[in-house]
Structure 1
Amino acid sequence: MSLQHGQHGQHGQGAVGPDASSAEGMMAAALMRTRDAIVGTETIAPQAGQDATLEAADRLRRMEPPFRRAVLMSELLEDISFKIEEYPQKRAAARAVTVLRRGGAAAADPLPLARIIRPEVADFGHAAPLVAAYAELRADRLAEILVQKERLIPFVSAILPVTPFRAPAVVEMLETGLDIVTPVVMRAKIALGCPRPSQFSPLVQPMIAEPGHPTLPSGHATQMFTLAAMLSRLTDPGAAIAADSQLYRLACRIAINRTVAGVHFPADSAAGAVLGIQLGRYLMARGQGGTVGSASFDGTAFRDGNQPRDFHYGVLDRMVRGGDPSAGFPDDAAAVRPAPLWQSLCQRAAREWQTRWS
């Protein structure tokens, strides 16, 4: 999101600037002419003002969407921090990163939300042929991959009644969730410094431009699993992870599409799934009240014996049920600190969701 502002040129009385041919320029010129006609040279006598009467949440609703989003992101990110864990013999990349979150008590130490251990370079190298094999699906999934580069919520809207006209607060809640993922996942990526598939072989040849940032965790996977967890908790605040549900199948499909495109390993998707689920749970706990636990992903254990492992909702199911050594979701839920402005949006989203059959 860009909040950059263009430079303002000086306008003479009655002058029409070089931008007058644009819609914005025409509007500015028309407003200037209208004021000159109905105000003239009258001296302004200011009216008596008064202090604000609306609470902050109501003032937030009057702001333009990009600035509302900036406020919400600031509120939500202020409780998130990171712990970087180095290798015993220090390397350029970190061994692990833990996303921390503030607890419910003001003076409490930060609690772990998600810990991610990177795979070794050899693990990625062993998985490169698996990524290359996925290239056979590129023609079949071309449309999906290109659209999903920029737009994810329409795929959710095909499953649930989540559209800007029918559920504007739900859509805004989800869009804010997507925005929150970016600074969190990029902080993890830059710490772990994991290579892309094409670095292991020129035969991978990604079908889309390869991002310039490190690969693990996958940002698209993290975003989609965040959305899945948020929507599951919107329907049921205590919902468990249903790997076989349409939402989580969709999240898996979109994550796998990044491997098909040649820009991500299956391990990237698995790490993104764990981080995304945790972010979605955390966001909804701050918006609905409640608790959230921790989770972990160990990339060095994401393999089948000596063979690289693929990622799909069957693997996800084992991960979340405690049947896979690469993932852990311990029973350690604890309270989170409420986020009042975010709560106001989540409450509106909940009211929309309760009337979705109308």
Structure 2
Amino acid sequence: MRRRDFGSEGGGEGGGEGGGFLPPYELISKKPPGWHDIYADEETDFVDVGEFPIAAWHPSYRATAIAADFLSSREWKLSCDPGQPDLGEAAIRAELKALAGSDLYGNRGNWIDEINAQKNDFSGYFACLLGCSPTSRPATWTLVLLGIELGALVGQYYKGKYKRARPAQLLTTLASDVATPAHPSYPSNHSLQAHLAANCVSAAVEACRVNCDKLAARIGLLREVAGLHYPSDTAAGIHVAAKVAELLNGVEGYDALLKEARLEWPTAVRHPNPMKAGQ
């Protein structure tokens, strides 16, 4: 799953399932005309600003830095491992049958627009849900990006370890209008990334947990509807996301980010939907 940054000029693709790159965000804009006439080099004082300020980090780069800190420890490889999927013939047949026989799969034409919208980037769904961007609740947005960036890398490690064939490679009738990604199936990175993003946000803002979990579950499920993942891929993604979220606690940059995000939601309290019957 690739990821773009809302509110950032130029957009760009980030590290999703297929890898990618971060766009060249500007810290200091291009100098305007006449700049050197106003501030000649030899007449301009320098100002010692100390450390690079947290507020100057772009959320994408900050998320990547925290992810790198997490990955620098090898503990996660064992602690977060979802284990070998059941590749016995009976288990595989049962999962393929569950995919092909589900009502959602039979009517996946009704879901194809949403499936395609989430194919390369689902960050916009979290942006809309949480009202966050690089300029609005930037710490919350960084938590979303952290879940997506870190989840991508962790997921790819286990994909390489277990090398599970995609459903459509076993049963070609499961192929859909959505192209099958060119990497292994297990675990589902969409599921892992979405649930890790939800877990990271919820760690800061408990009031958002139910809504974030609901969104993450839907993102994972639609990859099954598209015929791209087995149900056990989705479940493994959820498992890994929970384990990674636990291990993130204690990572210095992550703990600081949680504190900042909490300040963006000072009065957040979850209430039942007033449109729901009986409320």
Aligning the two structures, in what range does the TM-score lie when normalised by the shorter sequence? 0.7 to 0.9
Greater gyration radius: 1
Aligned to 1:128: 96
Q: Are 1:222 and 2:222 an aligned pair?
A: no
Deviation digits for residues 42-69 of structure 1 (CA, Å, limit 9, x no counterpart): 7x42756575534x6xx23323444333
Structure 1 counterpart of 2:17 = none
Q: Are 2:187 and 2:237, in contact at CA under 8 Å, matched by a contact in 1?
A: yes
Q: Does 1:163 align with 2:132?
A: yes
| Aligned residue in 2 for 1:278 | 243
2:234 maps to which of 249, 269, 274: 269
TM-score, normalised to structure 2's length? 0.73
1:325-352 Cα offsets, whole Å, 9 max, x none, are xxxxxxxxxxxxx41x333322110111
Between Structure 1 and Structure 2, the one with more strand by share is 1
Residue 274 of structure 1 aligns to which amino acid in structure 2?
H
Name the SS for the 2:172 alignment partner.
Answer: coil
Instruction: Give 3-state SS (helix, strand or coil) of 1:226's partner.
Output: helix
Higher mean C-alpha deviation, range 220-229 or range 148-157: 148-157
Instruction: For residue 39 of structure 1, report the CA deviation from its aligned partner.
Output: 7.0
- Structure with the larger RCO, 1 or 2 (CA within 8 Å, 6+ apart): 2
Return the offset for 1:80.
Answer: 4.2
Q: Is the 8 A contact 1:145 1:257 kept in 2?
A: yes
Structural RMSD (CA): 3.3
Greater share of residues in helix? 2
What residue number does 2:56 align with? 62
* Partner Cα distance (1:225, 1:64) in 2: 23
Structure 2 match to 1:75: 69
Q: Percent identity?
A: 21
Amino acid corresponding to residue 101 of structure 2 in structure 1: A
Structure 1 residue identity aligned to 2:191: A
Q: How many Å separate the matches in 2 of 1:255 and 1:132?
A: 17
Runs of 4 or more, structure 1, over 6 Å off, are: none
Q: Which of these residues, 102, 105, 116, is aligned with residue 83 of structure 2?
A: 116
The 8 Å contact of residues 208 and 261 in structure 1, kept in 2 or not, is answered as yes
CA contact (8 A) 1:73 1:180 kept: yes
Give the C-alpha shift of residue 234 in structure 1: 1.9
Q: Aligned AA for 1:119? A: D
Are residue 251 (structure 1) and residue 216 (structure 2) matched?
yes
1:66-87 C-alpha deviation (Å, 9 max, x unpaired): 43333222223223456xxxxx
Unaligned runs of 5+ in 2: 1-13, 15-20, 270-279
**1:1-358 pair list within 5 angstroms:** 1=14, 2-3=21-22, 31=32, 34=34, 38=37, 44-45=41-42, 49=46, 52-54=49-51, 59-81=53-75, 99-100=77-78, 112-120=79-87, 122=89, 123-134=91-102, 135-156=105-126, 161-164=130-133, 166-236=136-206, 245-283=210-248, 285-286=249-250, 338-339=251-252, 341-356=253-268
Separation in 2, partners of 1:279, 1:263: 24
State the Cα deviation string for residues 225-270 of structure 1 (Å, max 9, x = none): 2123223322349x9xx9xx44333322221111110111111011
Per-residue Cα deviation, 1:102-161 (whole angstroms, up to 9, x for no partner): xxxxxxxxxx24442222152324422322234312111112211122333443456x54
Whole-angstrom distance in 1 between the partners of 2:65 and 2:194: 23
Provide the secondary structure at the position in 1 that maps to 2:264.
helix
Return the alpha-carbon distance in structure 2 between the equivalents of residues 63 and 254 of structure 1. 29
Q: Say if 1:53 and 1:202 are closer, same or farther in 2 by CA, change over 3 A.
A: closer
Q: Which residue type is aligned with residue 69 of structure 1?
A: A
SS at match of 2:181: coil
Shift of the alpha carbon at 1:170? 0.7
How many Å separate the matches in 2 of 1:355 and 1:204?
46
